[in-house]
Amino acid sequence: MSIPVLLSSSSVFPEPTAAAFELAASLGYDGVEVMVWTDAVSQDAGALRGLSRHYGVPVLSVHAPCLLVTQRVWSSDPRERLRRAVVLADTLSAPTVVVHPPFTWQRDYARQFTDTVADLAHRHTGIRIAVENMYPVRMGRRQFVPYAPGWDPTETGYDSYTLDLSHCAASRSNAMIMADAMGAGLAHIHLGDGTGEGRDEHLVPGRGGQPCGALLRSLAGRGFTGSVALEVATRKAGSRAEREADLAESLEFARKHLSPAVTTPA
């Protein structure tokens, strides 16, 4: 079976969630990853189901509200936000939920995070709660890690992971080695590029220095059964046409390197 290529709704920001379905349909993506954020549509199963039916594009992944700007979405309790994201995915028959490691100031959540993830996975069989690799934050010559117990989830160990290549660039880590460390737990890919300058860039794949093509070509050999979501930053696009062009180029890159016939370098 071919690996589905999804459009993350974060890739159309500052356009709303509905635009992700419209663009995914018009460009030929296999599905959508819904980033749950302050847009009310992203939080509403009925609205999302309606968009999915209207555009003929399924929701195949839900990203829990983990960003600083989403700390009050649904609840101030991060455990409740994660629970509701899993329920949303279950309601929409989306097989994957993406979640970040806890922030360092979320002490109670951090202590309970592993058990919380395991309990939700047990209650919602068929959904993989895939913990995402993050990155240290650099401010000038200083660096700090805002995640507990750290930015690399493989050091703790979870059943399922999301591998984000832009975050690999920001952490200056080797994406292929991280994929190896995730092993059979690799459930989901956030495809985006980065230059390795120590910041999260989410470039169109092929425009940075990450082994985006090599990783995609390796997935079949890894027995990968998950999905690939394009998570690229288009907020600086000068027009809808420019945004569409970036997202079309991203999809073409993914499909090209996921094809078993591909032999070109990264």
Residue 78 has pLDDT above 50, yes or no: yes
What pLDDT is stored for residue 262 in this prediction?
A: 47
Give residue-wise pLDDT tens across range 13-28. Answer: 999 999 999 999 999 9
Percentage of the chain with pLDDT > 70?
A: 97
pLDDT at 102: 97
Residue 263 has pLDDT above 60, yes or no: no
pLDDT score of 93 more than 60: yes
Mean pLDDT of the chain: 94
Q: How confident is the model at residue 198 (pLDDT cuts 50, 70, 90)?
A: low
Over residues 228-252, the pLDDT tens digits come to 999 999 999 999 999 999 999 999 9
Residue entry with tokens 């078993």 = 260
pLDDT at 27: 98
Does the pLDDT of residue 143 top 90, yes or no? no
Please report the pLDDT score of residue 130 as a whole number.
98
Distance (Å) of CA 139 to CA 136, 152, 153, 171, 196? 10, 19, 23, 13, 15
**Residue 261: band (very low, low, confident or very high) from pLDDT cuts 50, 70, 90:** low
Give mean pLDDT, residues 65-94: 95
The DSSP result for 49-114, as a single string, is: HHHHHHHT--EEEEE---SGGGTTSS-S-HHHHHHHHHHHHHHHT--EEEEPPPBTT-HHHHHHHH
